[in-house]
Amino acid sequence: MTTATILPTAADLVALVHGRSVIALTGAGMSTDSGIPDYRGPDSPPRNPMTYQQFMGDAAFRRHYWARNHLGWRHMDAARPNTGHRALAALERAGTVRGVLTQNVDLLHTKAGSRSVIDLHGSYMQVRCMACEHRTSRIALAERLDAVNPGFAESVSAATGVEIAPDADAVIEDTAHFRVVDCERCGGTLKPDIVYFGESVPRERVDAAYAMVEAADVLLVLGSSLTVQSGLRFVRHAAKRGMPVAIVNRGATRGDDYAELKLHAGCSETLTALAGSA
């Protein structure tokens, strides 16, 4: 007679974190319930994420990107925190969660009320000049792009509708007529202040994240496949220090071998249950 495998539940996660301080590491699966798609979820279509080399090396590629982003960032700006974001903020107020490290650029943790947040990959709301380092808001850039591309957003939406991809991007094909703008201060190339694939997270941000992990008792991974090193390094660091690692994700992750507990579940329902026990 065989014994059925008993899979971990939210109750097991509640027991693991009881009386302990938690740092949350979140990925794209945290925001899918807010209508923001991910790259690697079980139901996600194949997508090619932006690389730093593509963006910086090809003016035509940059034009294509900015045209798509000119539509897509508005969708991300309109997104609202889901029950998972709100539950995580409530857990911080209750003293269970000490902080959030997020790989997302959507600012939804901050919008939900989380106060101790490190945006590992930056945010969609800021734009950086690659020559002089001047930073400006995405709203200000939108006004400049609207001025040199009158009617663009309305004409594309009316003709084809707009499918939103991750990282404040919209899926449109005909962008040859779109005009880009350069830095108002020095004429340099503008880039979203987001860490692309092939680009490194700033050292001071990484150091602050390590310090946050080391100040807690448990690392809780939420909605991340941990495919990229920017998130996986913290799981390895926690495991090396003997900290329990718990993972909540629909599907396998690169950190599963380090996890004391792995839930194949959604973030929103799991965090709602965890907040209800706090």
Note whether 149 and 275 are same-domain residues.
Answer: no
Q: Which pTM value belongs to this model?
A: 0.90
Tell me the percentage of the chain whose pLDDT exceeds 70.
88
The pLDDT tens digits for 117-165 are 999 999 999 999 999 999 999 999 999 999 999 988 777 754 444 555 5
Residue 199 has pLDDT above 60, yes or no: yes
pLDDT of residue 1: 35
Tally of domains in the chain: 2
- How far is the C-alpha of 234 from the C-alpha of 213, rounded, in Å? 7
Out of 194, 218, 237, pick the residue that ends a domain: 194
Q: Output the DSSP codes for 37-53.
A: --SSSTTPPP----BHH
**221-258 per-position pLDDT tens digit:** 999 999 989 999 999 999 999 999 999 999 999 999 99
Final residue of a structural domain among 177, 194, 211 = 194
With cut-offs at 50, 70 and 90, classify the pLDDT of residue 3: very low
Residue span of the structural domain in which 184 resides: 45-78+125-194
239 and 189 share one domain: no
Mean pLDDT for 74-97 is: 95
Choosing from 121, 134, 177, 264, the catalytic residue is 121
* Residue 163 to residue 151: CA distance in whole angstroms: 18
State the pLDDT at residue 278.
72
Assess whether pLDDT exceeds 80 at residue 215: yes
Choose the final residue of a domain: 194, 211, 241.
Answer: 194
Same domain for 134 and 187? yes
149 shares its domain with 213: no
Confidence tier at 5 by pLDDT (50, 70, 90): very low
Q: What average pLDDT does the chain have?
A: 89
Provide the CATH number for the domain around residue 25.
Answer: 3.40.50.1220
**What sign has the CA pseudo-torsion 94, 96, 101, 106?**
negative
Question: Is 237 an active-site residue?
Answer: no
